[in-house]
Amino acid sequence: MTSKRVGIKDLKNNLSRYLRLVREGGHVLVTDHGDVVAEIRRPVSEPSGLLEEWERTGVVIRPTARKRPLPRSPVRSPKGTATRILDALRGD
């Protein structure tokens, strides 16, 4: 597999060339001032079918019951409490 290190500016200016490399099975390491910040490669599987694949292989189990809303909390704070706390934290 072909691996290529490329700076952000070069990637921007030659995106089609690097996507062609990825399409052919390679991958691109994107660097910012020499530090790798991203990697471009072909997806492991098609994103649209990933959940179904995980379900089929037992990695995930879909829920059987419908989600119910949580009950409201009985705790009530006086109006303006959040504003006063934020103002105090900010030093206002």
Contacts of the segment 8-11: beta carbons below 8 A, 24+ positions apart: 8/32, 8/37
Could you give the domains of the chain?
A: 3-46 (3.40.1620.10)
This prediction has a pTM of 0.48
Tell me which residue of 56, 55, 21 sits closest to 39, measured CA to CA: 21
CA distance 88 to 79: 16
**Residue 42 reports pLDDT greater than 80:** yes
| pLDDT score of 53 | 85
**Residue 57 reports pLDDT greater than 70:** yes
| pLDDT score of 27 | 93
Confidence of residue 47 (pLDDT cuts 50, 70, 90): low
**Residue 25 reports pLDDT greater than 70:** yes
Which residues does 67 contact at the CB level (< 8 Å), separation at least 6?
Answer: none
- Which residue type does 62 have? R
